[in-house]
Amino acid sequence: MNKLPKIDQSWTLFLDRDGVINKRNFDGYILQWSDFQFTDGLLSAAQQLGAMFGNVVVVTNQQCVAKQLITEQDLVLLHQKMHNELAVNGLQIAAVKVATELKNEPPFRRKPNTQMALEVKEAFPDVAFQKSVMVGDTDSDIAFGKALGMFTVLVRSQEVTSEIPDLYIDRLADLPNLLL
């Protein structure tokens, strides 16, 4: 598939965080705001992305909390700063869902499990997964989207992946041009 269907305000954009919204630290975790760097071009494209979708949500695996590298409260503060900076640039985030447990540990909210998406659907009943786009940079992101019937977009990176998305992009800022 070269292009996604015509997107309008009835669609929801699901975004992974690390590697999609912010530059990913392949050697560790983003634990403080000073380490958080938006991906290239995102702030410039934020308004265009925000205008295309009815809801934009972040779904992110952050086992750094379970590893006690950052407190849940400090992670919330980091996400508030991310949210505020995106909002100033025209991209309103409706919700940030975070799986803080270790891999393969309860409560099993981590992607590719679909629990975070089901929580979004409960909070925003108008969300229809078949009218949603999942953008991520890992196999678990793409598997998450596919399990829910979403259109999937993989941001290319040094991450080795085997899942086949509907589209490949080099950065989230490129997405609006593909959706026009």
| Residues noted as catalytic | 16, 18
Amino acid, single-letter form, for residue 79: H
**Would strands 132-136 and 151-155 be described as parallel, antiparallel, or unpaired?**
parallel
Longest dimension (CA), the chain: 43
List strand residue ranges (DSSP E) for the chain, in order. Answer: 12-15, 55-61, 95-99, 132-136, 151-155, 167-169
Q: Closest Cα partner for 134 from 3, 15, 48, 10?
A: 15
Residue with the two structure tokens 């229809």:
128
